[in-house]
Amino acid sequence: METTKKTNRHKLAPVSASQPVNKNSQDNWKAVSFKRRAGVLVPLFSVYSQKSLGIGDLRDLELVVDWCKQTGNSILQLLPMNECGPVFCPYDSVSAFALEPMYLCLEKIPLSGSKDFKSTIKEIKNKFPAGNHNLNYAIKEEKLSLLWDIYMRQGNGQSGQLENFQKNNAYWIEDFALFKVLKYHQAGRPWHDWEQVYRNRDAVSLANFRKEHIREINFQIWIQWQLYQQFKELKEYAQAKKILLKGDLPLLVSRDSADVWAHPELFKLDFAAGAPVDVYCAKGQRWGMPTYNWDEISAGDYQYLKDKLKYAENFYDILRIDHVVGLFRIWSIPYNEPLENKGLNGFFDPVDENSWPEHGRRILRIILESTRMLLCAEDLGVIPRICPETLGLFGIPGNDVQRWAKDWDLKHDFLDPADYRTLSVTMLSTHDTTNWAAWWQYEAGTVDEELFMRMCAIRRIDYNYTKNSLFDFSLSKYGRLRWSKNINSVDSLVHILGKRREEIGDFIKLYENSYMEKEKLWKRLKIKGQMREVADEEIISRVLRDNLGSSSLFSIQTIIDWLYPTGLFRGDPHKYRINTPGTISPDNWSLVIPLSLEKLLSQKVNKDIREMVSSSGRL
């Protein structure tokens, strides 16, 4: 089956903005309307206000909405807001439903304004000042401790609103609250290491536990109710400002999650999801979450999937389908495979390639029929052609990332943004990549060193002997190897590698798609003068305008890329990264922008951004 690399390797027929949206998704487009828009991706943990308690909260997002209004952006995209596990990865959540308690604004909770709670809030604020380069996730326990005190002060009474919330969400919240309290009393161990009666959900044992710990269980429900209310208020605020909220629902959930514990039959626990080898990940990726047992989910009329959409619809106008290709087939790694092998020794599930088209189409139909939200899809990576074709057929925008939007087969050059898919969301960077300035300085025109070394080992090519001839080490850093300009033809590459062309087709393809990459983009951007290695204000502003001017219906930039021309991000751009895929690090999911939201609202660059958005026809 033919595959595409980083999207757009196979051009799809563009969708005209004047054409009616495909009948499969016309209801989903009604509230959003089929028109050009600009937007911003903001991880909530990356922003803060002068009132923040160690981390950005749901109230702070009202200031982000104000910034969107000021700059002409009409879409505010968030990373998953689900409660995180111990490594605080938003895509490895402990529930597909429960929201992250860290994001609660404590000052909006009744009783928090009492004198003693005000004093405690002030102490926490001093202990966890907002605005450090990296977030201190110890703030979560501090906030939970204070929330418990507030909850206990309220007494045993439950409001009618809380009771209605619990009743309307019984399909998930009962199991979630029980899971959370059980986990605490099982010393934080993953559920598969709990006492057998709890691990296997013995009904009598669970009933007894629930009776003994009802107050703690109700506390977990109360927290989720508070989050629900604050998020609903945010959505109403955004609607009043005509800003659309775009959510992100992770495709998978953590192995140690309430969902997997409550419904283990819906998951293949002998396998871990991941991604195969590509040009940016030499060993592929192993995410660790279990893959889905779609036969069981189908037997239940896809109710689990429908329930996830039902709850997300409370908060979002648009929903990003994470790793949409996983609905067609997913890279599945045996759970007992050594961790150091990452994604090397996996396989695609389903195994039969002929089943992929209908498998993905069926699930996407269910999703479209089960929600009013407009769907967008992350269709990046090495994907079967049927995936972007189906998205086009169903009226679902995919992703066109500037650094990967290329003609990979013939010209080996960047696509003109006018040739991007109309039915797409374009961007310079994602939460999983370097920001654009770092890509320009360290990645454009390079190959991954670990991947190249492994390719050499497979062909029995002496990497240490050939590396000095192939690469310019003065321009190589962070595991990326910049091609030497002396390797100015495929013949030069073949000669140095000492192999016949037919033996090194993968080397040739890698070379053709990365050699002189910066020079090619510089030429297309039409910036005067000699190419500059470091991205400055002129270069980034030009590439932002270039992206906004694309044929893509939506252009959504990360908050970092939007603000990079200001000079706020000082020093090495490589350190301003949200996440490095396939790694666990305190630097992941903890980046904080270097100014408060109040100061952001007064930045001169806001007028420049609005002018860019306006001139691109996206205001």
Strands 330-334 and 267-268: unpaired
Please indicate, yes or no, if residue 317 is contained in any of the structural domains.
Answer: no
Sequence-separated (6 or more) residues with CB below 8 Å from residue 156: 215
> What digits encode the pLDDT tens for the residues 473-516?
999 999 999 999 999 999 999 999 999 999 999 999 999 999 99
Residue 112: what pLDDT? 65
Please indicate, yes or no, if residue 137 is contained in any of the structural domains.
Answer: no
For residue 87, give Cα distances in angstroms to 97, 145, 254, 571.
Answer: 18, 20, 11, 27
**Do the beta carbons of residue 120 and residue 242 sit within 8 Å?**
no
Name the token pair of 397: 């925008």
> What digits encode the pLDDT tens for the residues 321-354?
999 999 999 999 999 999 999 999 999 999 999 9
The answer on pLDDT for 157 being more than 80 is no
Q: Is 95 helix (H, G, I), strand (E, B) or coil?
A: coil
**Do the beta carbons of residue 234 and residue 66 sit within 8 Å?**
no
Q: Is 457 helix (H, G, I), strand (E, B) or coil?
A: helix
Name the token pair of 265: 């039959």
Structural domain boundaries, residue 480? 446-515
> What digits encode the pLDDT tens for the residues 379-416?
998 889 999 999 999 999 999 999 999 999 999 999 99
Please indicate, yes or no, if residue 195 is contained in any of the structural domains.
Answer: no
**Rounded CA gap, 342 and 79, in Å?**
24
β-strand partners of 554: 37, 425
**Rounded CA gap, 437 and 414, in Å?**
17
In the chain, what is the straight-line distance between the N-terminal and C-terminal CA atoms, in Å?
A: 41
β-strand partners of 413: 407
Sequence-separated (6 or more) residues with CB below 8 Å from residue 63: 49, 597, 598, 600, 601
Q: Is 305 helix (H, G, I), strand (E, B) or coil?
A: helix
Please indicate, yes or no, if residue 318 is contained in any of the structural domains.
Answer: no
Residue 280: what pLDDT? 66
Nearest to 41 by CA among 575, 558, 566: 558
* Cis omega (within 30 of 0) for bond into 350: yes
Please indicate, yes or no, if residue 503 is contained in any of the structural domains.
Answer: yes
Structural domain total, the chain: 1
Please indicate, yes or no, if residue 479 is contained in any of the structural domains.
Answer: yes
Give the DSSP letter of residue 16.
Answer: P
**Do the beta carbons of residue 7 and residue 325 sit within 8 Å?**
no
Residue 156: what pLDDT? 59
Sequence-separated (6 or more) residues with CB below 8 Å from residue 49: 56, 59, 60, 63, 130, 596, 597, 598
**Rounded CA gap, 104 and 230, in Å?**
8
> What digits encode the pLDDT tens for the residues 15-61?
444 444 677 888 899 989 999 999 999 999 999 999 999 999 999 99
Nearest to 466 by CA among 498, 427, 437: 498
Segment 407-415 long-range contacts (CB within 8 Å, at least 24 positions apart): 407/9, 408/5, 408/6, 408/9, 408/513, 409/9, 412/512, 412/513, 413/520, 413/524, 414/520, 414/521, 414/524, 415/8
Residue 460: what pLDDT? 95
Phi, psi angle pair for 602, to nearest 5°: -105, 10
SS3 content of the chain, % helix, strand, coil (to 5): 45, 15, 40
Please indicate, yes or no, if residue 460 is contained in any of the structural domains.
Answer: yes
Q: Which residue did the predictor score with more confidence, 21 or 374?
A: 374
From the CB of residue 270, how many other CB atoms can be counted at a distance below 10 Å? 11
β-strand partners of 75: 39, 244
Q: Please state the length of the chain.
A: 619
Give the DSSP letter of residue 93.
Answer: B
The answer on pLDDT for 14 being more than 60 is no
**Rounded CA gap, 17 and 551, in Å?**
10
pLDDT confidence band for 110 (50 / 70 / 90):
confident
**Do the beta carbons of residue 365 and residue 303 sit within 8 Å?**
no
For the chain, what is the mean pLDDT?
Answer: 93
Please indicate, yes or no, if residue 522 is contained in any of the structural domains.
Answer: no
> What digits encode the pLDDT tens for the residues 502-560?
999 999 999 999 999 999 999 999 999 999 999 999 999 999 999 999 999 999 999 99
CA atoms lying within 13 Å on the CB side of residue 293: 13
From the CB of residue 63, how many other CB atoms can be counted at a distance below 10 Å? 20
Sequence-separated (6 or more) residues with CB below 8 Å from residue 1: 353, 356, 384, 385, 386
Name the token pair of 606: 């806001």
CA 172 to chain CA mean position, Å:
23
Residue reference for tokens 């003609």: 407
**Rounded CA gap, 330 and 325, in Å?**
7
